[in-house]
Amino acid sequence: MTARTCAGCDLCCTTLAVDALAKPCGARCPHLAGDPGHSCGIYAERPDECARYACVWLEGLLPERLKPSRCGFVVNPPKAGSKAPIRLLSLLPDAARPRSWVKELPALSTVSRRLNMPIIIDDPSGVPVAVLAPSGRLFLREEHPELFRADNINVGVPITEFVRNPLTDPLHRVRR
């Protein structure tokens, strides 16, 4: 398999928050210029959080067709150094295609199940709107508001994480 590259894609430069640049989630980076994938105007001096970042597609964990520039969303790996009781992925859509993830639920469910990690699905501003459990069950904010209460905050994401029990495979709530 050929190594994947960012060539033709810079969606993470819009969807992700970058603390070092005071850039909020969903805002286009002010340093973007030129062709996507080769467009960082401060590439040589970019912040460490940008230099270290690699999306789940770039790591080879999503199908080729789910390159962010094509599918309209970025799937982020678990946060490094997180104190969460479980690892989770997060999905941030492009503001121009906020529901692009819906048609890709079967592929996302396969990844969630294979990695045994829920996927937190945010709106373009970074507010969680759904949780896709490894069981394939989708929990939408409007149908399960109790999962998105502020007192469920864990690693900065106001939801309750769900995982498969490796012994019995039911969906169960992770206790803190």
> What's the start-to-end Cα distance of the chain, in Å?
40
List per-residue pLDDT tens for the chain, 176 residues long.
Answer: 568 998 889 999 999 999 999 999 999 899 998 766 668 899 899 999 999 999 999 999 999 999 999 999 999 988 766 655 567 889 999 999 999 999 999 999 999 999 888 898 999 988 889 989 888 889 898 887 777 765 554 433 333 444 444 433 333 333 32
Q: State the amino acid at position 176 in one-letter form.
A: R
Q: What are phi and psi of 36, to 5 degrees?
A: -55, 140
Q: How far from chain centre, in Å, is Cα 82?
A: 15
Closest CA to 138 of 166, 104, 98: 104
